[in-house]
Structure 1
Amino acid sequence: MQSVAARVAELTGREVAAVTEMGSSHRWRLYRAELADGTPLFVKAFPDGDPGADGLFRAEALGLDWLGRSFGSPVPDVAGWDDRALVLAWVEERPPTPEAAERFGHQLAAMHLAGADSFGASWNGYIGPLPMDNTPRSTWPEFYAEQRILPYLRRAADRGALTPADVRLVEKVLAAIDDLAGDPEPPARIHGDLWNGNVLWQDDGAVVVDPAAHGGHREADLAMLALFGLPYLDRVRDAYNETAPLGAGWRARVPLHQLHPLLVHVCLFGAAYRTMVLETARAALRA
């Protein structure tokens, strides 16, 4: 723990009183640090001996800072970072409530409406431990096909988790993406990996963590919330629609937006998610 305490002290310029290990996520370990004045902090750090991942914590820190520039943005403050560690404000979770869900819907809409200069971002991205190509593009269908579907489809096929027939099915979605994408929308300021485990509930809304932030399609965040279930999701969506009404046909596009995170799951966890990918691709085509 001494090395983690020393790194937190260096990154924050504050004296650290204690560090408690909280487990691990992917290749990095998680800690709760307490400063000498009692302030708690959350820490991610690569363990000694791990080579780390070039730019991973940088991408998260820049993404949080960028998301945080939107009005009422529900993200934790970044207290410090380098290539080996990321230090964030501690978020004390509360049980979800309908009222908090409604507030979160308004927060999420405001964050999306802050917009982006293009689809993509000015930094190299990550989703979990996997690199994510954020090269800016002017149109969403091109960006989604080339930088959100194809890289993970190829990776999943290369590791044997998808068959050639599976790949051809997903490629049918890509071939039809201009028709499936709906009316053009400007790039939104999205979280990019908004499953329910990255939503930390508060009394007055929620805080979102672990972003894969970029300029993207706002429906992607809402589709990800639905993928693995979120408490009071209907309340979140209804409140979102009050602030930023979703485009016509958004329900039919949910499978299209869920295809990217499911392919990421196949890359990370193997063929256990293969059936979900195939069912989602077929649902996207039916739309």
Structure 2
Amino acid sequence: MDLAYLRAHPEHLPTFLTHQRIRETPVGGGDVCTATRLTLEDGSSVFAKTWPSGEAPEQFFATEAAGLNWLREAGEVPVPEVFVALAGILALEWIEAGPPTPGAAERFGRELAGMHRAGAGSFGAPWTGFIGPLTQDNTPATGPWSEWFAERRLRPYLEISADRGALSSADVTVVEGVIDRIGSCGGEEPPSRVHGDLWPGNVLWGSDQRGWLVDPAAHGGHRETDLAQLALFGGAPHLERIVSAYQEVSPLSEGWRARVPLHQLHLLLVHTAAFGETYRGAVRATAEAALRA
């Protein structure tokens, strides 16, 4: 099997893997899926993801493929080509890693702005939603953004987190306070074409001196959410250069910095919902910062 054959017959990949006709090398791929580098007969490489045990949730890989293709259609930030999207495996273009240079960061900021400006027909998306191992409600909605974000991106993961004991009753009260006042935070905008899970680990810095987008939870959302997520967990390399270059192309609305905690709260609640109380302190501190803004 070479790359041309794989493109023409993606449904054959599981058979070739079962019969060990393709070399597999484990690579880092996140906390949810098992990731491998596949070396084909023509020497080309492919990045593959599989569910670690049993069957993946229905539409899991199809959803990621749809999001990757939609972001790629914008023709701005580079996104790996999807070769295979089957129930049990996703195979993508292999990207050679490189250093995150200041120049690459600035280009990424400009390209991210261009992708956001490509827009979306509504908040949400026409495909099933997942973020990490959890489902996400992508039912298309016209907005306003604040109402959609509160009910589709904050409240569901607050409830899951509370039910599993990852947040205390006091924590829940603080987050509910954010939800109650979200309409007064400003920054309402029409839907942008967003990655949706853009913590720094989901930007792959390539040897081509560009930042590539991987592992999206793509949908129509608020562009500030992508930028706020880039500041989480230590922050993306050269973050201020990314933001400055972004603003050259698409200036952000007044008060955007004060809204960063609000936009970060979604992904942090996903972490308490999926992984437990380890992230409880981050949720509480971020919710309190959102209330002070």
Instruction: Give the TM interval when normalised to the shorter protein.
Output: over 0.9
Matches for 1:62-101 after TM superposition, within 5 Å: 62-101=66-105
Give the corresponding residue for 2:211: 206
Distance in 2 (CA, whole Å) between partners of 1:25 and 1:183 is: 32
CA distance in 2, matches of 1:183, 1:100: 28
What is the rounded CA distance, in whole Å, between the counterparts of 2:69 and 2:142 in structure 1? 23
Q: TM-score, normalised by structure 1?
A: 0.92
Report how far residue 11 of structure 1 moved.
1.9
Deviations 1:211-251 (A, max 9, x none): 00000000000000011211100100000000110000000
Give the corresponding residue for 2:251. 245
Asked if residue 279 in structure 1 is aligned to residue 289 in structure 2, the reply is no
Q: Give the match's secondary structure for 1:184.
A: coil
2:122 to 118, 124, 140: 118
1:256 alignment partner in structure 2: 262
Distance 2:220 2:260 in 1: 18
Distance 1:257 1:155 in 2: 19
Consecutive aligned runs of 4 or more in structure 1 exceeding 6 Å deviation: none
Q: TM-score, normalised by structure 2?
A: 0.91
Q: Judging changes above 3 Å, is the alpha-carbon distance between structure 1 residues 267 and 250 closer, same or farther for their aligned structure 2 residues?
A: same
Deviation at 1:26, TM superposition (A): 3.7
Structural RMSD (CA):
1.8
Taking the aligned partners of 1:57 and 1:251, their CA distance within structure 2 comes to 34
- Describe the SS at the equivalent of 1:68: helix
CA spacing shift, 1:42–1:156, aligned 2, 3 Å: same
Q: Are 1:154 and 2:187 counterparts?
A: no
Equivalent-residue separation in structure 1 for 2:195 and 2:158 (angstroms)? 21
CA distance, structure 1, for counterparts of residue 257 and residue 171 of structure 2 = 24
**What is the 5 A alignment of 1:15-30?**
17-22=22-27, 25-30=30-35
> What number of residue pairs does the alignment pair up?
279
Name the CA distance, whole Å, in 1 between partners of 2:128 and 2:226.
20
Q: Distance in 1 between matches of 2:29 and 2:216?
A: 17
Deviation at 1:142, TM superposition (A): 1.4
Q: How big is the shift at 1:130?
A: 0.6
Cα pair 2:11 2:86 within 8 Å, conserved: no
* Equivalence for 1:145: 150
- Classify the secondary structure of the residue corresponding to 1:169: helix
SS of equivalent to 2:70: helix
Q: d(CA) in 2 for partners of 1:18 and 1:75?
A: 24
Q: What amino acid maps onto 2:106 in structure 1?
A: E
Amino acid at match of 1:95: P
CA-to-partner distance for each residue in 1:103-153, whole Å, 9 max, x for gaps?
000110011000000010001111111101001111111111111001100
1:191 to 195, 205, 211: 195
- CA distance change for structure 1 residues 208 and 27 in 2, over 3 Å: closer, same or farther? closer
Aligned twin of 1:11: 10
Give the superposition deviation at 1:166. Answer: 1.3
- The alignment status of 1:167 with 2:172, answered yes or no, reads yes
Q: Report how far residue 25 of structure 1 moved.
A: 3.8
1:179 deviates by: 0.4
Instruction: Among all aligned residue pairs of Structure 1 and Structure 2, give the percentage whose two residues are the same amino acid.
Output: 53
Please state how far the C-alpha of 1:13 moved relative to its aligned partner: 5.8
Instruction: Give the residue type in structure 2 aligned to 1:283.
Output: A
> Which letter maps to 1:176?
R
- The equivalent of 1:50 in structure 2 is 54
Q: Judge conservation of contact 1:71–1:114 (CA < 8 Å) in 2.
A: no
Secondary structure, counterpart of 1:104 in structure 2: helix
CA contact (8 A) 1:8 1:87 kept: no
CA–CA distance in 1 between the matches of 2:257 and 2:91?
37
Residue by residue over 1:151-205, the C-alpha shift from the partner in whole angstroms, topping out at 9 and shown as x without a partner, is 100000000011222111111111101101x132110000000111111113432
Q: Distance in 2 between matches of 1:64 and 1:95?
A: 23
